[in-house]
Structure 1
């Protein structure tokens, strides 16, 4: 993967030592009820360039693994960066086999604290103020549950987050609504009801959330007057008419023959040039073979082949929504112990604390909307930690994009993969 970096800085915000209503972050203060502030701690060293590169590549590989686990669905929209953040918040609390399985699934070999710091540092803001890109993380704790101060200090340093306290035990529905409402607010109203009824209950001890929101216009918008209705070739052989956008421009383009299947790819930059959407389009009839062979190195090969080319392009407008319970998919990637009574998340709480924390649910909702103007996308990711283990999850040139394709949205400076998915039916 070719990486450009400008101004990546480590997350270094620390919370004041107190229990009260004032949250101090980034030099500002807000009055917010139910905020537990962490004790001050020595700041973590900023991540090195090598740590940033390794973490960006790990996020990409993790995202591709997760995509392949879900790719048999019709349309898929994921946020690898969002889910990596949620699990990256949990990773420093894990020990032994629990940590090894999580780290393996996340494709990282860095120490848990360095991985967390690198994830936070990869969140560089786009240089162009016309692009909105926001990522917010929150830890919700059961009132009175003794979360370790060193763990909270690391989350503050890496992710600039404090802890909100609530009473899952006495008011699980009210607590779930509060968690969901904050994610909805952080995603511009696009992600609603991240946690479904029952996913946060009276036994919940902690809930970790990540909210990612993107609104970006194309560097060269499509002209609405040029959009036409055109056949799209679904996997089942049907060919509905969809609204197709057209453009003739100099774009980064490539074509290849494998592995898996022949493909074409094009990159559509957003204003400012820091972010882009890439479309990878296997030949008609070869989509299954291509997605079956897709890996992180294959994706790097595709992206590395892109070169400036004059191209006549047609792309369908599309709007996707996904709602994923990821327990089974993560189990398929080897994350099993965290969901069991053998879970070791003792980095969360002092030794001997009862009840013992166990991972109970990992969820993500994502929305991606693409039209002539640009892209609006949002994702909410969440992990619930409870007192009772759940049952082990089951493992479960010329380019007309008129057939199923893979899409990704990435930060061209760091390589961080923000969104990844597939469109097999633009009409949803």
Structure 2
């Protein structure tokens, strides 16, 4: 009888932020940035607004990697840009640094948690469990998947606790099949205060031009501050693509939000065609302190990503096949990953006072005369980065705030 492993990523990230160049291992910065860009290049073709967590994907692939062999292992290591044993040691160092962030009291909240839910009586190798505890601080929990309702409640409660109560009922009993034996769950929660506040009284409705050229009214926040900013131009020969890059600081400066805004005569697609891991690193390194007048939409975005489809596009296919070698997990030769889901939420507002998945963004405005204007009244990209490790926690695009604001009003009316 075939045994299948349900592989599920449950993520919450609520944000506003700041970006800076990070003096960490170039190897790990390269690895996480490459994965972020690879995932983005697949996702941006599917929806107007997109968001994904490269960090969450990397952690789950890393947890599977501990039990993978042969082709399955090689595909995962290639996706993570890990080639040798030294790279694996760097990956372990990255994990230690990230988990130390979660255990320290700081000016932000960053919860990073992993868990393995095992079917009672299903034999998993002790070394696999030990390695997940050591490297990923994964909790090991026994459940009975023959009682899907109880399992759904157990997992949903765990995620709710790890995300400060912001995500509830994350899975339903329909998620589990009769052959489910193992579920890997990953929860990431981020809540940070802006270093400088967008004053609520300065927020008012303004025009936003969508990708199709139509114009809508949306709440636009305003702020004048001194921060990292750059006018960029990239392309071939005379066909240069012009855009702006801006960072917004969180208190403590350990996390950063970088925004990339095409010029008014440039489409978001033209910028996306240029994106490489090296270009993203250049954005982080090349922007300089400037006085900037900032206009930024207030928005909240929630999205579910089918990681199985995305990973297939990145040539990670073997773990989803019935004959894959996951013998490092169990002696069973009939185990594979049957499902991979990532659920992500981001919220950007003035002060984070809203209850659901709030991103507390408390700041004090610095008024200054500036010739630099960053008016995000058209589609733009955003990246949340953990500066000490170089890890990109999430990456996305806001192309149509109307979709998210309509969904938000609908949810608030329930």
SS at match of 2:241: coil
Q: Distance in 1 between matches of 2:257 and 2:352?
A: 10
Q: Which digits, 9 at most, give the CA deviation of each residue in 1:351-385, with x for residues without a partner?
A: xx33622011111011101111269969xxxxxxx
How far residue 128 of structure 1 moved from its aligned partner, in angstroms, is: 6.6
Aligned to 2:83: 109
Instruction: Indicate which of 203, 218, 221 corresponds to 2:194.
Output: 218
Q: Distance in 1 between matches of 2:261 and 2:253?
A: 22
Whether the 8 Å contact between 2:262 and 2:380 is mirrored in structure 1 is yes
SS at match of 2:394: strand
How many residues are treated as equivalent by the alignment?
A: 360
User: Which blocks of at least 5 consecutive residues in structure 1 are unaligned?
Assistant: 6-49, 379-396
Residue 213 (structure 2) pairs with residue 237 (structure 1) = yes
Aligned to 1:208: 184
Residue 145 (structure 2) pairs with residue 145 (structure 1) = no
Q: Distance in 2 between matches of 1:104 and 1:320?
A: 30
Residue 214 (structure 2) pairs with residue 265 (structure 1) = no
Q: Which digits, 9 at most, give the CA deviation of each residue in 1:78-113, with x for residues without a partner?
A: 111112111111111101111111111222224485
Q: Distance in 1 between matches of 2:178 and 2:37?
A: 35
Matches within 5 A, 1:243-258: 243-258=219-234
Q: Which digits, 9 at most, give the CA deviation of each residue in 1:104-155, with x for residues without a partner?
A: 1222224485365234223142877231111001011111111111111111
User: For residues 196 and 337 of structure 1, do their structure 2 counterparts lie closer, same or farther at Cα, with a shift above 3 Å needed?
Assistant: farther
TM-score by length of 1: 0.79
Aligned to 1:16: none
Residue 52 (structure 2) pairs with residue 78 (structure 1) = yes
Residue 308 (structure 2) pairs with residue 327 (structure 1) = yes
SS at match of 1:232: strand
Name whichever structure is richer in helix by fraction. 2
Aligned to 2:33: 60
Whether the 8 Å contact between 1:221 and 1:374 is mirrored in structure 2 is no
SS at match of 1:240: strand
Aligned to 2:364: none
User: Which blocks of at least 5 consecutive residues in structure 2 are unaligned?
Assistant: 1-19, 359-371, 405-414
Aligned to 1:89: 63
TM-score by length of 2: 0.81
Structure possessing the higher relative contact order (Cα contacts under 8 Å, 6 or more residues apart): 2
Q: Distance in 1 between matches of 2:185 and 2:29?
A: 20
Whether the 8 Å contact between 2:197 and 2:351 is mirrored in structure 1 is yes
How far residue 416 of structure 1 moved from its aligned partner, in angstroms, is: 1.2
Q: Distance in 2 between matches of 1:94 and 1:306?
A: 41
RMSD after superposition: 2.2
Aligned to 2:298: 317
Whether the 8 Å contact between 2:68 and 2:325 is mirrored in structure 1 is yes
How far residue 196 of structure 1 moved from its aligned partner, in angstroms, is: 5.4
| Comparing 110-119 and 70-79, the one that deviates more | 110-119
Aligned to 1:403: 378
Q: Distance in 1 between matches of 2:248 and 2:391?
A: 16
